[in-house]
Amino acid sequence: MARKRFIPEIKKNQTFGLNITSMTDMFTILLVFLLQSFASGEINLDPVQGVRLPSSSTEKNLVDGARISISPTELKFDQLKVADVKDNKIASSAIDPNDSNFIKPLFDELQKFNKDNEKLAKTGKVLFQADRDTPYATLRKVMYTASMAGFPNLKLVTTAGN
């Protein structure tokens, strides 16, 4: 005679209390950490892909202004690509033939920004994100063009470091 298999009795309508204390503890710690790292500045700046910012000991928070970034592959005004970058040099097609430091497409975009955001443009502030390996010769071209377009207040964006 075959032995009868044991089947435990299951109460279908049974309710049980879940202990969520430890989960609440975990969430509290997570919440404190996130509140601490919550962006406290008035400006949120998205890091540009491919740009490794240098670290600096500066303590100044971000301010608003025209946003220029230069990565190893492209020069951007805000989100718009204005010139190609190859071997850390701006493509010659973007450079004015009569002035080797003048980046024409960037100047045009800055002029457009001048018209569209008159109030912000009056401050003459440029938030400049550049890759740490970019040589000064390339940076200078951007600085020169920004200065010519009426943006002499250059704000070099860095990451917090020692």
Binding site for other proteins (CB under 8 A): 17, 20-21, 23-24, 27-28, 30-31, 34-35, 37-39, 44-45, 47, 53-63, 100-101, 127, 130-137, 139-140, 143-144, 146-147, 152-160
Residue 142: C-alpha distances to residues 3, 67, 107, 125, 134 (Å): 87, 12, 9, 13, 12
Residue 24 Cβ vs other proteins, minimum distance, rounded to whole Å = 5
Of 62 and 120, which CB lies nearer to other proteins in the complex structure? 62
- Written as six digits, the tokens of 111 are 């002029």
- Closest distance of CB 60 from other proteins, Å: 5
Q: Are 109 and 149 a contacting pair, CB within 8 Å?
A: no
H/E stretch holding 22 reads helix 21-37
How far apart (Å, rounded) are the C-alpha atoms in residues 45 and 146? Answer: 19
DSSP secondary structure code for residue 119 in this structure: H
Considering the complex, state which of residue 13 and residue 37 has its C-beta at the smaller distance from other proteins. Answer: 37
Rounded to a whole number of angstroms, the minimum distance from the CB of residue 91 to other proteins is 17
Question: What is the dihedral sign for C-alpha 77, 81, 84, 85?
Answer: positive
Shortest separation between residue 144's beta carbon and other proteins, angstroms: 5
CB closer to other proteins, 8 vs 17: 17
Residue with Cβ nearer other proteins (30 or 80): 30
